[in-house]
Each structure stands twice: as C-alpha cells, then as structure tokens.
Structure 1
Amino acid sequence: MNNLKKYLDIQAKYQKANTESLKARFYLLYNLTDAISKVRKRFDEERLVEINVIDYNGLYEVQTSDLITQLLKFEKDGEFPILYSFVSSFLSKTLADSIETPFISNEKENIDICIREEGKYAILIENKLKKAPFQRNQLARYIMKTLEKGFSIDMIYVIILPGSIESDFLSNIPISVWRAPADWPFSNDERKCCDSNASYMHACLCDNGKILDDDWCNKRCVDCKSRFQNLESHIKVIDYDFPVWLLKVAEEIVPQKEIFIKSAMIQFAHYIKGLYKIRLNKKEVMENIQVLQNELNFDPKNPEENFNKVISAKNDLAKLQQSLDSLEFVCKLRIWQNQIENRFKGIHVYSDEESFYVIINNIYCGIWIENNTKYFWGFLKDNNRLTEEYDEKIIIDIIKDSGLFPSSYSNKYYIRWAYTENGANVMSKFIEIAQKLDCKIERRE
C-alpha cells in the first residue's frame, strides 16, 4: 500500500510539473504573439489584400504536379522559356542549352514529373509540397526505371520539392528510399525486405539497421545514391528559391499578354510561400526581430546568454506547436466524422482518440491519423469477427469502384489502405458504393 501511495504521489508531482511547464509555454506564447500582433496591425494598414484562389480551393499533390508540368511545358516560338530558366537556375546552364525537344510528363510510371530527351538527359522531379511520406524504395525505383530506358547515371537528375524548409531535409530521407532491392519492380508490400513492424509505414529493414541476409541486402540491393558520388550537383532540394524563381520568371520572362500564365505563377508562388511560412516582407521581419529581442530581455553585452534565450524559447514554442499541430489534426478528423454522421443518419460511426470508422460486412472501414502528420484510409479485417472470402472480395470491389484502388496498398493487417487529404469525401464514397452493393453496414441501435 505504501508503494502505491509513493507511486501516486510521484505521478501527481509529475502531472503538476507538466501543467506548470505548459502554463509557462502558453504565457511565453501570449507575450510574444501579443507583441508581434501589434507590429502586424501596423503593416496590415499598408499590406496588399491577400486573396489567393489556391488558398481558398486548396490543391492535392497531383494537382500541384500538374500545375508545375503545365508551366514547364509553356512554349513560345519553338522554345521553352520557363523550362530553360528552371534548368538553368537550379541545375546548369550547359544542361539548359542542350534542351531541344523535351518530353514532359507527370504521374507517368508513378513519377511526379519527368523531363527527358533520349540520349541526353532525364530530370526526375519528386513533389513533396504536400508533405506526402516517401514510399518504400521510391527514388531508387524511379532511377532504376530511368536506367532501364537507356539513360546513363550521369544523364539523370533528381530534384525534390519539399513541403517545408529544412536544412537537413536530404540527409533525413530514409536510407531505403535510395536503395533498390532485387525485387524492386514488385509492389510495395511484396518486397522481401519490407519492415512491417516498423513505426514508419514504408520502412525497409535497413532503415532500422537490420538485414534480411548478406546476399540479399548487401550484394543484390543497389544503393542508387552512391552512384551519384561524383555527381552531387545532380541531386537538388529546392525550397525557398522555388517561389522566388516563380515570381522572377512571371515578371521577367513570361510575355505580358500571357496573363493566365503570369497569374498562375504569381498565385502558385504565393501559395508555396504560405506552405513555407515565408510571406512576410523583410521590413516586417526586422521589426518582429526587434520586438522579440525586447520581450526576451536581450543583453547587448552578453550574446551567449541571448543565444541561449532564443534556443530555450524556440524549444518551448516547438513543444507547444507540436501539441497544437496534433490538436489540429484531431479537430479536422472530428469535422470529417461529423460530416459522415450527418450525411448517413443511422449508420454507427465508431471512434477513438485518433480515428473513426464504420463496419461493412464485418470489416472495419476507417480514417485515422498516423504519427500526427498524415491521414490514412483503410479496410481492416478483425480476426474476432467472422468474415467470408466473399466479404473481402466485395471490399475490393468497393475500392475499385471508388477509383482509389491503383494508389492503395495492402499488408498483413489491411486489405487495402492509402494516404488521404479528404477523409470525409473518401468515406462517403465507400459508404455510398457499399449501399449500392447491398452490403451490411452496422447501424446504431
């Protein structure tokens, strides 16, 4: 009994300390945001009205790839001025000068954007603007496909457009993304070295320091990144400079009469700046810096202490931001859940902390949050519920009828699953199709 009391006392003290720490972070956030908001109000009086059509409508990842592709395809008098500027600015002028009859595609063979000319170059653009996770062996598969088309490694360029500005983005990409096992042409979950027990859904064994065996993982698995050892300039992460480049090209290169191209580039640049949280002008940023220095009680004679204050404040705000981000994901999930409950009266919509689901033919159909960063849909078979082979077959039919089957995956836990940006829309499709197929959907009592 005494041990239990000690444990409860320790737990109470820990919770109290956590609460006090959270209060301190909120207090710091309040002081900083209050001071910054005063600066913002002054600048709002002279700021242009920010109306961005893309902000209102949003874009899926595929749509951002399509927009980039259409811009790069812009042709004038037999030349490709936007493409030329892109290649010249981010790769090399020599490569840009070699462009004659480029083939530009998007979403072909799962590659977001590909620009190539046979025997000359192949530029692979991986679009992560919407922060989609890297899939298993993703970049390696694209490189291997390109090599199979007859391009040598020195002709291949890989450009990544990230969803945020991170100095270590490239080094943080999972090892397996660059590696091609012998069975790389197989589907994601059929590859021998996939680590189904890892927390990262698309992990290979090598991401966690494990191997299947020496022959398979060390001798028969190709490390595609190492092939660029003397071609470092062929791999680029473009973040801050991308929206800057879009604005420059819209102003200096696109003809004045091409108002739709100009408008698209300006709006897209503004949209990406929003993704990167860099829409403020320099003057406003400098005033914000001065305000922050005052609020953090900077001492001009003690730069080391000032530095530590900034790091401490950033750490506090980062922890608070992480909590708010998680809360934002949950709130959005609940909005989707309410939409489903209101649209399909009588159907039993179950929920837990990070998911909601319905039950179709004794199979769970749900939307969930993973790692506080992504939403997924999936059909889960519960061994405690009796199902027939027919039940699984009809679930596959539902997914195929929804149009989502080609972009989905399967593993030992899920019949099919995939990433989603609109859980309510996906769930509505599944339920409507299930109703048409006369499936049994659990209802509230």
Structure 2
Amino acid sequence: MPVQLADLALMKRKGTPKGITSVCSAHPLVLRAALRHGAAQGSTVLIEATCNQVNHQGGYTGMRPADFAALVFRLAEEEGCPADLIVLGGDHLGPNPWRDRPAGEAMAEAETMMAAYVEAGFRKIHLDASMGCQGEPDALDDETTAARAARLAAVAEASARKAGGALPVYVIGTEVPPPGGADHALTAIEPTGADAARRTIAVHRRVFAEAGLSDAFARAIGLVVQPGVEFGNHNVILYDRSKITPLTGVLADEPQFVFEAHSTDYQGTVPLAALVEDGFPILKVGPELTFVLREALYALDLIASDLLDGYGDRPLHRAMEMLMRAEPGHWRRHYHGTAAEERLLRHYSLSDRIRYYWAAPEAQAATRRLVEALSGQVVPLPLFWQHLPAAAHFADRPLDPDALLVWRVTQSLASYHAACGL
C-alpha cells in the first residue's frame, strides 16, 4: 500500500519510519518522470506548487492552481498513473507574492489564492504567513504568524467543504532555507532550536483553538524546521544527525507531528535515509531535478553538435545564454562575481535558476530542435562515454531523447524512493 501523509507520524512512533518525496517543480518532463516512477512503484506521488510559481494571478509559470492540477492529471493519464496515487500540495501559501503591499491587501490576495488552490484539489497545505508586508519587519513574531495562518486555514476549510472531497492536511512552521538555495558558499547551517519548534506548535494550537479551528489543527501533520541541510550556488551542506538530537525530542512530546525538510536537494541516499529515520519523512526536492534535466539536455546538445552536420555548435546552450542575458530578472540578485563567474553560474549553479527560463518560447524552440534532431538517431557509444557516460545504455540504437531525459530525472527520484524506505 502506498504511504499516506496522515500515517507518517504513526509509523515514526511505531519504529517503522517511511518517507514521501515532495516533488517541487512545474517542468512537464520532471512531472512526467515523477508520475511514471510513481506508477511503476505503486507509491504516492506528492507534487507541490509554490505561491510564487502558481497562484490565482498565474504566478511566474502563468498557471493558476486549476491549470497546474489539469497538467498533472493529463500527464498522469498519459503515464498510466492512477489518480488515487497523486497528492497535490501548496507550498508557502501566504502573502509572500504581495509582501510589497500593506498587510491587509496582501492577506486578501493570499486568501483568494488559498481558495483557488483548495478548490482545484490541492489538499496538502503549507501555511506560511511569516513574512512581513509593507512597513513590517521581514520576519514576523509567532503570534502574528499564527493569526494569519489561522485566517488562511479558515478559507481552506470553507473551500474544501464547498468543493467536496477530503479536508486538507496542514503543515505549519516557516524556519526554512532560502527558496532555491543560498546565494553564497556555505560552511555550516544551524538546525532549528527545540524550544523554538515547541513554541511554534503551542502558539498555533492556541490561536487555532481561539479561532474555532481546533478540528483543522488536528489535521496538522507537519512542522517545517531547519534540519541543518542546505545548498548554495557552489556547495552542499550534508545532514549531520548528531546536531539535531534536541530537535527530534520535540516529536516525542508532539505525537501528531513529523518534520518537513526543505532544500534536501543533492543530499544523496544515505543522508536522506537518515533524515527519514530521524523524523523528517517529507523530503522536498526541486532544483536538483531540473539541474539533472539541464545536465542531460546540455549533454545531448554536445552530442548533436558532434554527431550531426548542420546542427551547429551547442545551439541550445547559446539560446539559453542569450535568453538569460536578455532577461536577467530571475538570476541577477543571486549570482555575483566577474563576468566569467556569472556566466558559469547562469548555467551550472546548484540553485539552478536557469529553471525559470525553460518555458520561454526561445528555450522551447531550442529544446524542440534538439529533440527533433536526435530523435531516431543512432548515437555511438564513445559519444555517450564522452558527454553522458551514465546513459551509455542508450547507445547504438535509435534514440528517444525524451525517454533519456525522463530516465535522468528518475535516477534522482529513485535515490529519494530508496531513502524513504519504500
């Protein structure tokens, strides 16, 4: 039987911890890989969208929650993934996209967004109202955060009852790494303190009760904390379980909860498995999946350049460089250094901010040209050894580029699957 979100805490308490991978991406090939893998394994496919990525105004993907849900279920049908394996989640749902406005306006937008998410079938809801709005501190106190989270939960409850189906499960807490990774080289990350985690739970429990939302709080399954894992543009901080003993003790006192771990990208199976064992069974991953997808696309770009007369010299790479230079908004604040260093980061940073550009028409056209050029081509083994050795089994037979790209993403998903004990 596939693992259910509501069962994670009980499995931890019984000494048989299991985990669930949270796929945080809107790229259709990443989603296809997740759905294909879930169908093959018979496991829960948890797919999450963030408030900046998808919202009632379109977000940076141009998709509203109903659009994103429709994309996921269309791909699921194509991949033969049963709908009952799929869980849709909303991540960091709160006023963040509108924090440059007064709090009243930003929260009104957040409430409209919440209704759109829940009415579209999203049932795992991360309540995140911790960020200050216009004229407020960057980070708000627990009381204000909990009061705004309760407002959003009330909207979610009403929207779920209106739409029918299961009521939402909630994740609270906001002590997370920067979205998409840090901007600088890292040496260490301090885990969340046990007292801070206890205070977050206690304040939310009281505020929800005062708002008449105790039933909703009873469906809060997770607390977002910092387990001491992170990645920056250049490096990764691996999980060190010796540093989180006080934090994991919180779970003994709060049996309804598990921890949700953000920015687990690039950890690898052994650290991920340790996270699951220690009470972090919800493992969120995003940039790693688009990083390995980009890795495979660029390898195919090199293969086509070497193999095919008339294809050109790395036209996909050139197209992405032109696009990112012409529209620097998604990377300019995050990549720093000389012109050469910025160029390297644009393509190869672990934070993978190139992921924001794959939906652009220029990127789509260059990717389509690459896939069409190599479809059915027989690629000699030495070219795979040169540019993507792990894909050597695709050599010497007609190539299906999309199958190779999905395979590369699935390698990372398989690592998470193994770490989850499935």
TM-score by length of structure 2 reads 0.26
Would you tell me which structure has more strand in proportion to its own residues?
Answer: 1
- Larger RCO (CA under 8 A, 6+ residues apart): 2
Greater Rg by CA: 1
